[in-house]
Structure 1
């Protein structure tokens, strides 16, 4: 999967989490909500062959509220991406395995959560990315299972989809889950070619998510 497309998929999800729906009206000056980054335990990443490609900010600034009294809200999402080099016929060796964790602030005001991801299903998360950025097509749910992430049981949904790599369409599997941990929502997405079974590795990465990231 080309680097630009991989990066677009992860950032697309971060942007959608921050810009969909209404965050609510705040009082006072400009307010910033910033998530704590998440990553994967180093040992688990090494065992699965996925290498960390860094953590970056996805920042969205919005004016919210009625005309005349609108205020600026700055939402800082954290996107951590891991990649794995895989080899398939015709394409050769490339970083075709991708695992991204998006950490998005809950945006709590007076005990209420205004981040729309709180109500998003895994189907909705995949649909949002597909509709807005076209990174995936022919998306179809093919299964799900329960996985423990950060001490909570969460549903990891598996999808069959198609993407384009070096001008060729390839079939991929996509795994998606969402979990609330402390003040953030974490959304994990794993993508790999269907020809190369990486499901056990991706599930291992989910189980090894750390939040806040190690060293934070």
Structure 2
């Protein structure tokens, strides 16, 4: 490394990283819609588009103060698909929300927003009287891929330890993966750790927490604090 990125380079990198994260994390909603392809009826009246909107899962301010993470942004992503309902075509819209948090880490004498914690909230979909979990059918590695794209050229992804911790009042299983990759926009190659929690139910939503950071940073305890500090606000009638 020859020095700190310029202000223009940092701004451009931040914009690129934000787009990459949104694209990767929105995959949860896309998976949910793909599962509707074979449905012949929905638990909603035919006619207007069927809309399913998630609430927002965020981390409590007190927890952020303890862990050192800061809110980057809360974004939403709407996926639309046409499905067959009772012999006619029906439009279904699924809106998921992602709260993203960043934390600066020091690498080789420079500081980068290289640690990330994200919480995906995606709505439960009622199909023929049964709840459909848009992200629950993803295995651990598939969920890991939702956060892997925060970095560049990730390779040698390996499953490691597993632990259980409280997420929204549920004992959630969290799998830790390791891999090698570059921090986006820097060219710096490091060993990475990914914490991938199972989907937990919160009201009418499913919530999936994900975290990643350079392994040398050793931020596992703070990630656990963040997991324990997640709060969920249901979607309002105006959403």
TM category, shorter = 0.7 to 0.9
Give the greater-gyration-radius structure (CA): 2
Q: Work out whether 1:146 is the aligned partner of 2:159.
A: no
Q: Distance in 2 between matches of 1:88 and 1:130?
A: 19
How far apart are 1:122 and its partner, in Å? 2.0
Q: Distance in 1 between matches of 2:177 and 2:188?
A: 20
How far apart are 1:125 and its partner, in Å? 1.4
Q: Work out whether 1:200 is the aligned partner of 2:221.
A: yes
Q: Work out whether 1:52 is the aligned partner of 2:71.
A: yes
- Contact 1:11-1:79 at 8 Å conserved across structures: no
User: What is aligned with 2:99?
Assistant: 80
Q: Distance in 2 between matches of 1:187 and 1:127?
A: 13
How far apart are 1:5 and its partner, in Å? 3.2
Q: How many residues align?
A: 211
User: What is aligned with 1:170?
Assistant: 190
**SS of residue matched to 1:118:** coil
**SS of residue matched to 2:136:** helix
Gaps of 5+ in 2: 1-9
Q: Work out whether 1:22 is the aligned partner of 2:35.
A: yes
Deviates more, 1:52-61 or 1:3-12: 3-12
Gaps of 5+ in 1: none
Question: How much is the aligned-residue C-alpha RMSD, in angstroms?
Answer: 2.6
Q: Work out whether 1:65 is the aligned partner of 2:84.
A: yes
Q: Distance in 2 between matches of 1:208 and 1:135?
A: 31
User: What is aligned with 2:178?
Assistant: 160
Distance 1:76 1:135, change over 3 A: farther
Distance 1:47 1:122, change over 3 A: same
Instruction: Give deviations 1:152-210, integer Å, cap 9, x for gaps.
Output: 10101100022222123221100011211111111111110011100000110000000
- Contact 2:144-2:210 at 8 Å conserved across structures: no
User: What is aligned with 2:25?
Assistant: 13
Q: Distance in 2 between matches of 1:103 and 1:179?
A: 10
Give 4+ residue runs of structure 1 displaced > 6 Å after superposition.
none
Q: Distance in 2 between matches of 1:143 and 1:153?
A: 16
User: What is aligned with 1:35?
Assistant: 54
**SS of residue matched to 1:187:** strand
User: What is aligned with 2:125?
Assistant: 107
User: What is aligned with 2:6?
Assistant: none
